[in-house]
Amino acid sequence: MSGDVQPRKRKDKRRKRDDDESSHGVHITKMGNDDVHLHVHHDHGTGGHWCAKIIFFSLMAALLGVVALIIMENRGLEDLDTPLSESRFSNYFDGWVDEHRVEHEGHDVQEPSGEALDDHDDHDELEDHEEEEEDDHEEEEEPLSAELDEGEATPEEDEEEADQEDEEPEEEEDEEEGEEENNAGENITAEDDVEDEEADEEDEEEEEVEPTVEATTEATAEYEEDEDNVDEGDADDEDEVPPSEETPPSEAPEEEDDDQPEEEEEVEQSQEPTAAADDAENNEDKDDDDDDFESLDQDVEDEPVKLSSQKPDQDDQDDQDNNGEKDPQEEGSSWLASQIKPKDAPAENNELFEQELRKANQEMVRENYAQALRSFNMLTLRYTDEPLAHLGRAKVLAHLAERQQSNQRLWEAIDAYKRYLAFEELITSDAEFIAAGESCIKHLRFLGNHHQAVNIHELLIERSPGNPHLRNQLSLTHLMANNLRQVEQVSFNTLKLAPDDAVAQLHYGLVLKQLYGDYLQALPFLKYAVESEEEGTQEPFFYLALGETLQRLSRQPEAMQVFSKGVAKGFYTSQYQRSLYNVPGLKAQPFWEPHETGYQRHLEKLQFHWRTIRDEALELLGKTGFFEDEAEQLRHKGVWQQFELFSQGRRMGDNCQKTPKTCALVQQFPESSGCRRGQVKFSVMKANTHVWPHCGPTNCRLRAHLTLVAPEPKKTLLRVAEQERTWREGELFIFDDSFEHEVWHNGSLPRLVLILDMWHPELSSHQRRNLPAI
């Protein structure tokens, strides 16, 4: 290797390194002929230094925002009552700030904590360690270059080469980069190139990592230092925040704030327990109440109706699945166990509570229910042991539920009534307690939750066991739930207590009629109750039960007198039209012609395919297990069976798979297949069958009979009011089944028809969509 190769090699390596360093933020400045190189170091534009700053200031902004929200939230309460619960932001600083406040007049300069000093010492040690690493790195550079030279040049030769490089003219450095790389390539072997490139890459990586690590370490230390300062500042600011009313015993301040309003002091004294153990228990109850009740700032008029923020017990939550809202099947009889019960009743209501209660009741009397609800919410939070506060809140919620037509509000009212009833031993007025319980029962009945209502009934009976009225109400709830066995038991026990009680006799007579079909035994009970005209006996259903009992005992004139009396009381439209679920003003007549309904085209199409429908029905009739007995106890004798295709506007999928052609035809008649107050079904009546006179439940539908099999038309008869018809194969007729109708089949062969219920033609589309199903 020639003598000038080594200096040129060193020069090329140095130039290459300088060029690479220029792209990483190292700038070279020439200072005249002396050729002095100034290496100016600055951080990479996308290095960790600026990223650390961005992260730091973002976290600081978020932290300061939360602090500002807490300060603003509490400052607004200076002229109001002391907040009864902690801020919703208070949990954000758990473990970050020192919650032990020191009572003092001024803000003293705080000494840095031991933890902060340790952090500072760790930071100094980290900087010293980094400086040592930098020195070690500089010392390692010379052996690395010597290793790359592989012993070809001694240290003295390196110095001479460096001097020669410095003496080279300045113009030589300005030569084009391509020419220098070509010249260097001619004089350096392949092995030296590989070794030099590997060494250069290692140097570059180390130089790149060093500033990044250094910048990240500095930013982290700076962030920790500022975070400590923020913590110290937050600790100082704690004195400016109004103290929470529920200070834990271990953290209670030694002195109370003299500036606290007298009203707040009275509230605290009214809730202060007499013993430390009771204090802890009441604090726990208070925490539960804060979760259970709505925010005091909720505007019930402006905001949409929301679910109550109370946490219902498991029984109430299960109840929601049954009605669209609650399922009573899972609830046990011990529902009161989950209610809030105070440990000790207050000795007397203080003046402040009486004043605030009067103001809240005045708002309710003025029908300002939104403000009344806010007032009662405040009362139930402050005076959790006052039953009247919970009772007032229940009444307001019931008024709001009626005004807003909201079942959600009604459930909130029911829960509030339950809370009031949970104070049973503390409520001295039996009349007030029973009235609240009956209001709760009324709402539960309206929502169809009879199981929970039974629990309230039992509580009221326990309160006043000798009151027959309370027992009769329990019997009525069982009757509404169609639980006739329980009706029998309760009414029988009530008659033991009060033999002449008309309501108890009425309920017992209904059991004998509907459960046992013993009309002769039922008649005296029903007749005594209805003729007594006592409260609880004057309902359309009870007059209907008495009249039907007389009819089934072949005492038709007496039955018509009972029905006429019901018409005079406004229970029925006429003696013959006695349906209970009606839309007033609809056209009423016993029989209709197809063209009067507006459905003539659909009816004629069904009539045209009557043989196809008949064949599917006969195929089913030849098999066992498909047709079911009529279950409404309308048969006097014989066999009357049915097979449903559509019910309450819903297609019976399994049954329609067995009769696909018939269901397809009916599906094209939406006024029938979608009638939510009716059915589409096959009906077979065998020989020697008689169906009692009866009325359908509603005037919102008409009923068509498409005759499929009628071998003996002269021996079968349908009476509607005072008109009669018979069945002939392939024919179709329409009648209003809200009128009294009766059927005889005195032949010897079965009669088979397709029954189609359809919406009354005068009902609007809105009514058809919104009327409840029957």
Using an 8 Å Cβ cutoff, are 229 and 77 in contact? no
Output the average pLDDT for the chain: 74
User: pLDDT category, 283, cuts 50, 70, 90?
Assistant: very low
Query: Which residue's structure tokens are 């397709």?
Result: 754
Q: What is the DSSP string of 647-660?
A: ETTEE-HHHHHHSH
Q: Is the pLDDT of residue 351 over 80?
A: yes
Dist. CA 646–CA 643, nearest whole Å = 10
3-state helix, strand, coil split of the chain in percent (to 5) is 55, 10, 35
179-183, 420-424, 464-468, 542-546: range with lowest mean pLDDT: 179-183
- Backbone dihedral region for residue 32 (phi beyond 0: left; psi -120 to 50: alpha; all else: beta): left
Give the pLDDT of residue 12: 75
Pairing of strands 640-647, 679-685: antiparallel
Dist. CA 156–CA 138, nearest whole Å = 20
**What mean pLDDT comes out for the span 58-62?**
89
Tens-place pLDDT, residues 730-745: 999 999 999 999 999 9
- Please state which architecture CATH assigns to domain 347-569: Alpha Horseshoe (1.25)
CATH class of 591-770: mainly beta
**What mean pLDDT comes out for the span 208-235?**
43
Give the pLDDT of residue 100: 46
Q: Is the pLDDT of residue 686 over 50?
A: yes
Dist. CA 300–CA 403, nearest whole Å = 12
C-alpha closest to that of 331 among 346, 316, 348, 351: 316
Q: Is the pLDDT of residue 507 over 60?
A: yes
Kindly give the interhelix angle for 600-608 and 610-621, rounded to the nearest 10 degrees.
60
What does each C-alpha distance from 711 to 620, 686, 730 come to in angstroms? 19, 12, 12
**What mean pLDDT comes out for the span 701-717?**
96
Give the pLDDT of residue 677: 96
What residues contact 480, with CB distance under 8 A and at least 6 apart?
A: 445, 450
Q: Provide the terminal-to-terminal Cα distance of the chain, rounded to the nearest Å.
A: 110
- Backbone dihedral region for residue 702 (phi beyond 0: left; psi -120 to 50: alpha; all else: beta): beta
E strand or H helix at 431, and its extent? Answer: helix 430-446
Dist. CA 448–CA 68, nearest whole Å = 49
Give the pLDDT of residue 563: 96
| Max Cα–Cα distance, the chain, nearest Å | 143
Radius of gyration of the chain (CA): 46
Give the pLDDT of residue 5: 57
Dist. CA 477–CA 441, nearest whole Å = 9
Give the pLDDT of residue 68: 85
Give the pLDDT of residue 705: 98
Q: Is the pLDDT of residue 182 over 80?
A: no
Q: Is the pLDDT of residue 607 over 90?
A: yes
Q: What angle do CA 620, 623, 626 make, to 5 degrees?
A: 65
Q: Is the pLDDT of residue 317 over 50?
A: no
Sign of CA dihedral 79, 85, 88, 89: positive
Give the pLDDT of residue 388: 93
Q: CATH 2.60.120.330 residue ranges in the chain?
A: 591-770
Residues shown for the chain? 774
**What mean pLDDT comes out for the span 242-257?**
37
- Backbone dihedral region for residue 471 (phi beyond 0: left; psi -120 to 50: alpha; all else: beta): alpha
Give the pLDDT of residue 449: 92
User: pLDDT category, 180, cuts 50, 70, 90?
Assistant: very low
Give the pLDDT of residue 71: 81
Q: CATH 1.25.40.10 residue ranges in the chain?
A: 347-569
Tens-place pLDDT, residues 66-104: 888 888 776 655 444 444 444 444 454 455 444 444 444
Give the pLDDT of residue 314: 39
Three-state DSSP class for 429? coil
User: pLDDT category, 128, cuts 50, 70, 90?
Assistant: low
C-alpha closest to that of 593 among 735, 725, 737, 708: 735
